[in-house]
A and B are shown apart, each in its own frame.
Chain A
Amino acid sequence: MRFVLPLILFALSGSASADVVSINGAGATFPYPLYSKWFSEYRKVDPGVEINYQSIGSGGGVRQLLEKTIDFGASDAPMKDEQLAKAATPIYHFPTVLGAVTLAFNLPGFTGELKLTPELVADLFLGKIYYWNDAKIAAVNPGVALPDVPVMIIHRSDGSGTTAVFTDYLSKVSPEWKTKVGSGTAVKWPIGIGGKGNEGVTGFLKNSPGAIGFVELLYAETNHLQVASLKNAAGNFVRPSVAAVTEAAAGALKDIPKDFRVSITNSSGKSAYPIASFTYLLLYKKSAPAKSAKLKAFLGWALGDGQKLAESLFYAPLPAELAARARAQIKEIE
């Protein structure tokens, strides 16, 4: 106790005297690696602001924003109308980057390409396929040696935008999925093990032979997970990549509404990766002046210079036209 108390006083007083605006945000885990990079880089641009971001999941980001326990939220899925209706003042969506949800798997000794069709993905996550050497998988992958290993489905255990994007895609391509499960930040999974966050799912994937799950592209790439090629709406098998995501956004550009709330899964582009999405920062129109000035400045940076950092972390930067539109929206924040 004798050591601890002065230490606490020191910590508290030391921080209170420093002239730094501290802003708290929480939400999506999907862009977490990029955001943590952004917020750490941005301190070099403006040392007068500290933006604390915790990846608690998109569902949490939306709810905590509505509870006003945080200054800004983040979500991969745009907020629903009824959620927006609950807010005291309007909430704006700022798309920041685009990401892809990959189907990553762990089959030791497997080399080559695993092809999946939308139907196969739905069957896997509906619990209809038990072993990797199932005839349905083999039919799509002729000449590929598939092991006799049980399939282990990994999904998210928390409310998540990644889940929203993935289930939105499945609902578009599989009527059975749509009626049985539906889409949302948290759904009732028919089968599998739940991992918390993209981190948790990746952790399970790495440690469990036979596993397949959905994670954000960066998590798959940095952890050298095996990822499947997916058949898109145009009928081509596409491996997830930054370019394939940009293609998906480019295809949807003219359909993006004024408030940016849009789904771009199952995009029609010829080489577009079908499970792609925007990720958003969510801001109130009105908040404390000191904080909102800093946040606006940050947004300007993120939608400008910050975009250059995206690709190194496997996110697709916004198409220039869209970034300009998003920058124009900053003025709306008071």
Chain B
Amino acid sequence: MTFQDVYAKLDARRTIVNRLMLGLLGLASLVAILPLVFVLYYVVHRGIQGLNLSFFTQLPKPVGETGGGLGNAVLGTLVLVGLGSAVGVPIGIASGVFLSEFKRSRFAPWLRSAVELLAGVPSIILGIFAYAVLVVPLHGFSAAAGALALAIILIPTVAKTTEEVLKLVPDHIREAGLGLGLPRWKVILRIVVYGSRSGILTGVMLGVARISGESAPLLFTALNSQYWPRGLLAPISSLPVQIYTYAISPFDDWTQLAWTGSMVLVLFVLVANLLMRAILGGKKA
């Protein structure tokens, strides 16, 4: 056998290995997105059967009565997410701005660690926290306690994206503003933050999408309710908790509501993500 033959054989082997491995990489990517396809297909397939107007306008019915909807849970989720955002968004944006614009402050490293560590705290622990600080002292499960837990989840997400987005603003823009004699706060608010508003909004929306699907921290804070929301200090229903309750229930009507609720939730989250991607993509282009 000549050297050429050996090389040719080796080369053939290398080509085969190359093809095989590259194929494997492609296959792996296919495997990775398969669950998404399955979940979406299943959720829509099962969920759409229960989708009608009364899903959004009616209260759940007791066992044994057909019909009913999850109107209170849809509204409750809006209330909880709205309240959580009202608290969490300003704090998150302020932290992000601070991290980006005052990074030489002695406080900045503390804040940065706090934001990163808070992002890693399991959401169920925030439930324990909100239960201890709001539910027990105020003697009642409440929308406020649930919203507090959601706000704490929202803060790091918003803070991190805000910081990332503001870091993209080139320094010469800040210098130009300062050079015009504007005070620094005006430069930051009017030029840096305002100019990055779509990026910040993206961060906010992604955070909102995330907390709208959270159920663990609501289990023992907002609890649940079979009625329409009754104010901040009363238990409140939410889609994720209602889905959980109905998912493990043995009644077909309730399971159906869980699927439809899941579909509504998933579509909301996906649309929010797609929308934000479109905004960002449009900006880059």
Contact = CB atoms under 8 A, between A and B. Distances in A.
Contacts of B245: 199
B250 A15 contact: no
A200 interface: yes
Interface string B122-141: 00000000000001100111
A200 B81 CA distance: 28
A15 B140 contact: no
Contact of A222 (B63, B86, B140, B225): B63
Given A1-B85, A196-B248, A206-B250, A24 B78 contact: no
A52 B228 CA distance: 10
Given A12-B229, A206-B250, A4 B82 contact: yes
A194 B231 CA distance: 35
B235 interface: yes
B250 A199 contact: yes
B107 interface: no
A329 interface: no
B141 to A, nearest CB: 6
A313 B64 contact: yes
Nearest to A41: B62
A15 B248 contact: no
A29 to B, nearest CB: 10
Interface stretch (A63-71, A115-123, A178-186, A245-253): A63-71
Contacts of A218: 63
Given A16-B231, A24-B235, A196-B248, A36 B226 contact: yes
A200 B232 CA distance: 30
B190 to A, nearest CB: 21
A33 B62 contact: yes
**Interface range on chain B (Cβ under 8 Å from partner):** 35 or more
Nearest to A24: B235
A11 B75 contact: yes
A134 interface: no
B211 to A, nearest CB: 12
A223 interface: yes
Given A36-B62, A70-B141, A52 B79 contact: no
Nearest to A40: B62
Interface in A61-119: 67-70
A280 interface: no
Contacts of B81: 4
Contacts of B86: 5
B231 A222 contact: no
B64 A203 contact: no
Given A4-B85, A8-B79, A12-B231, A203 B62 contact: no
B250 A69 contact: no
Contacts of A7: 75, 78-79, 82
Interface string B24-52: 00000000000000000000000000000
Interface in A236-259: none
B85 A222 contact: no
B62 A69 contact: no
Contacts, number: 106
A210 to B, nearest CB: 18
A199 B140 contact: no
Interface in A36-68: 36-37, 39-40, 50, 52-54, 56, 67-68
A1 B245 CA distance: 28
Nearest to A6: B82
A127 interface: no
B249 interface: yes
A236 to B, nearest CB: 29
Contacts of B226: 36, 39-40, 52-53
Given A15-B231, A37-B62, A8 B136 contact: no
A15 B229 CA distance: 7
A218 B232 CA distance: 35
A40 B136 CA distance: 28
Contacts of A202: 249-250
Contacts of A199: 245, 248-251
Contacts of A36: 62-63, 226
Nearest to B205: A1
A106 to B, nearest CB: 12
Interface in B60-99: 61-64, 75, 78-79, 81-83, 85-86, 89
The 8 A-B pairs with the shortest beta carbon distances in the complex, nearest first, are: A202-B250, A199-B249, A4-B82, A33-B63, A36-B62, A200-B248, A37-B62, A8-B82
27 contacts: A4-B78, A5-B82, A5-B86, A8-B79, A12-B79, A15-B229, A15-B230, A16-B231, A22-B234, A24-B140, A33-B63, A33-B64, A52-B226, A54-B223, A70-B140, A70-B141, A196-B248, A197-B248, A199-B249, A199-B250, A202-B249, A203-B248, A206-B250, A222-B64, A222-B250, A223-B251, A312-B64
Given A1-B85, A8-B78, 4 more contacts: A16-B231, A36-B62, A36-B226, A54-B225
Interface of A: 1, 4-5, 7-8, 11-12, 15-16, 20, 22, 24, 26, 33, 36-37, 39-40, 50, 52-54, 56, 67-70, 195-197, 199-200, 202-203, 205-206, 218-219, 222-223, 312-313
